[in-house]
Structure 1
Amino acid sequence: MSETWLVIVGLAGLTFLIRFCGWALGQRLPQTGFWARFLSALPGCLIVALVALFTVKGESAELIAGGIAVIVALLTRSLPATMAIGIVAIWALRTYA
């Protein structure tokens, strides 16, 4: 077997192992209580932190796109819509402004 195939098989095995460990750990997480609420809020907090960082460190295009995303979030209360509109807004402002 060539080195290429060894690398492919090794990476496939590691990918499976990582996914299996994530699944096994997920089965042990609490389903109710404080820690369950904490862990369910974590992805939203991380997204807000990243957006805030790019908005504060960015230029006017990032500030405008952030404002547009906030307005969409307040009007729709939809995370996918907010992300999609925010991505399109920053792309359009960086490309055409």
Structure 2
Amino acid sequence: MHLLLLLGAALAMAAVPVACLAVLLLTGATAAGPALLAMGAVVLAALALAALWARDMVLLAETLRHAAQETGPALAPAAVPRLPPIERIARSIERLA
């Protein structure tokens, strides 16, 4: 299931740029080689970003679980997410806990 979510997120990010490059390629507005290389680069970048996002979501869920179970006054610091918006959410959860 985790792999399907990763591929779905990558597809959502890469669909429009790859479709635009495909239209340019099919209409003859660009050469085949560079367009195919650009499509490959977009797909690889989308997969990398989706993997990073999925990792950060796991860390955020772990932070939430830890905050919900914490009974003492101090919450141990969780692993730091890489994407800045998710990091801010995780730090806010730690402060609220």
Q: Same fold (TM over 0.5)?
A: no
Compare the two structures and name the one with the higher helix fraction.
1
Q: Structure 2 length normalisation: TM-score? A: 0.33
**Bigger relative contact order (CA 8 A; separation at least 6):** 2
Structure-1-length-normalised TM-score? 0.33
Higher Cα radius of gyration: 1
